[in-house]
Structure 1
């Protein structure tokens, strides 16, 4: 009976270790995605601020004259 309990615990431990490893991989991939998105957002903000100095105005300024 004790050996059966130990075997069951070992099985649960094995599954738990596998789950932790999978979750660790997911967290790592998500961190990579967050860093990529952060760099993209930073680049977009820099482009936007650079465009503001070059004649940027309100959206009303972009409306064609026939409106």
Structure 2
């Protein structure tokens, strides 16, 4: 019976360690996703402002190729 209790305590300790590790990974991924969303938003806004200020409608089909 005591061996069974020790085995369960060991499993519980490993599970707690695993949960902590997974929590750290998820937290890091949330930070990375937030940064990527911020960068995407900045790029999107930059593309929108270039499309408005460039004299074109932002559609690549209406731009003249560089060799003309």
Greater relative contact order (Cα 8 A, min sep 6): structure 1 or 2? Answer: 2
Q: CA RMSD in A?
A: 1.4
Given the two structures, how large is their TM-score scaled by the length of structure 1? 0.86
Structure 1: any 5+ residue segments left out of the alignment? none
**In the comparison of the two structures, how many residue pairs are matched?**
65
Given the two structures, how large is their TM-score scaled by the length of structure 2? 0.85
Runs of 4+ in structure 1 off by over 6 angstroms are none
Cα deviation digits, residues 20-45 of structure 1 (max 9, x gap):
00000000000000000000000001
Structure 2: any 5+ residue segments left out of the alignment? none
Question: Is residue 10 of structure 2 the alignment partner of residue 15 of structure 1?
Answer: no
